[in-house]
Amino acid sequence: MNTATRHNKGATIMDVAGHIDIGSSPALRKSMLEYLKHSDRLAVNLAGVKYLDSSGIASLLEVLKEARSSKKRFVLFGLTAAVREVLQLTRLTGVFEVYESEDEALTAETAAGGR
């Protein structure tokens, strides 16, 4: 798994590629939580993710929980078919804020930022 981080429209964008599994999810979770500490908005680009297992889901849920408790925004965008299927099977598509593109995620974040 590879990650890269950048900033756009006041948000931290984390681009993730590869497999999010038992071997890679602890490091990903740590990175996401660290970026969340230093940003009010974290958007995770999953367009390069080919595989997501239960440990990856647990990591995403932990970051979402932290974001909500600290009143920050955490969104996902660019889901591949494989990742979307896993989130649908686990009934989590309604739990996460999910957008098709980075532009949609950032526009929605800005529009919803006041709530």
Cβ-in-10-Å burial (0-12, 13-18, 19+) of 92 comes to middle
DSSP alpha helices (H): ranges in the chain? 25-37, 54-69, 81-89, 102-112
**CA nearest 106: which of 115, 95, 97?**
97
Flag whether pLDDT at 115 surpasses 60.
Answer: no
Model pTM score: 0.91
Dihedral of the CA atoms 77, 10, 14, 58 (nearest 10)? -70
Place of tokens 């974290």: 42
Flag whether pLDDT at 31 surpasses 70.
Answer: yes
Instruction: Write out pLDDT tens, residues 39-95.
Output: 999 999 999 999 999 999 999 999 999 999 999 999 999 999 999 999 999 999 999
- The amino acid present at 52, given as its one-letter code, is L
Report helix, strand or coil for 114: coil
